[in-house]
């Protein structure tokens, strides 16, 4: 089986996704799973210093061309919000890890906060459509699983708590 990790974390931007991506890749490579081929697909504009919206625009334009050339197996999205950029013809071969759906909860009035912008709402709507149609959903907490189930109607959500690396020596 071939699993393509859709890497959405540009190397020049701070954030936890790069560390999560690195840990997942290490775990998959050392799992001893027979027949598992793993590859990483950079899914962001390679030019340094771009804003989130510039990366999003690049994904919208390039996604339909990059994904078909990269994979004949499964895709794994480490962030459910990237679902907005995956062409629908790949949804049935996509596994998604969802960390939270806070913007959607704010939009639905379940959490306080400023309403997301129109472009953000459009991306959320498309990401939720992917979550309704994808092969599998993994969440990192029971609450996120309940939120995703309520927003998508899916019952087949797997909770896999993120490992916490010990910094105590």
User: Which pLDDT does position 2 carry in this prediction?
Assistant: 80
The predicted structure's pLDDT at residue 71: 62
Largest Cα–Cα separation, the chain: 48
pLDDT in tens, 40-79: 888 888 888 888 889 889 998 888 888 776 667 888 888 8
pLDDT for position 63: 81
Query: Is pLDDT of 90 > 60?
Result: yes
Q: What is the pLDDT of residue 143?
A: 95
pTM above 0.85, yes or no: no
Region 78-89: mean pLDDT is: 86
The whole-angstrom separation of Cα 134 and Cα 123 is 16
Structure tokens belonging to residue 159? 């909770």
The kind and range of the H/E element at 106 are: helix 102-107
Please state which of the ranges 61-70, 73-82, 105-114, 120-129 shows the lowest mean pLDDT: 61-70
Mean pLDDT confidence for 127-136: 94
Q: What is the pLDDT averaged over residues 26-53?
A: 81
Distance CA 76, CA 136 (A): 9
Nearest Cα residue to 2 out of 79, 78, 109, 74? 74
Positive or negative, the Cα torsion across 116, 122, 126, 132? positive
């Amino acid at each position: 089986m071939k699993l393509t990790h859709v890497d959405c974390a540009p190397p020049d931007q701070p954030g936890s996704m790069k560390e999560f991506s690195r840990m997942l890749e290490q775990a998959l490579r050392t799992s001893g799973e027979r027949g598992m081929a793993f590859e990483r697909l950079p899914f962001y504009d390679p030019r340094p210093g771009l804003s989130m919206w510039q990366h999003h625009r690049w994904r919208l334009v390039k996604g339909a061309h990059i994904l078909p050339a990269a994979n004949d197996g499964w895709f794994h999205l480490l962030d459910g919000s990237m679902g907005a950029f995956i062409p629908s013809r790949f949804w049935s071969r996509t596994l998604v890890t969802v960390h939270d759906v806070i913007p959607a909860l704010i939009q639905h009035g379940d959490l306080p906060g400023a309403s997301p912008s129109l472009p953000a709402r459009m991306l959320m709507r498309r990401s939720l459509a992917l979550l309704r149609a994808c092969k599998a959903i993994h969440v990192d907490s029971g609450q996120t699983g309940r939120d995703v189930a309520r927003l998508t109607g899916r019952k087949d959500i797997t909770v896999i708590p993120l490992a916490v690396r010990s910094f105590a020596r």
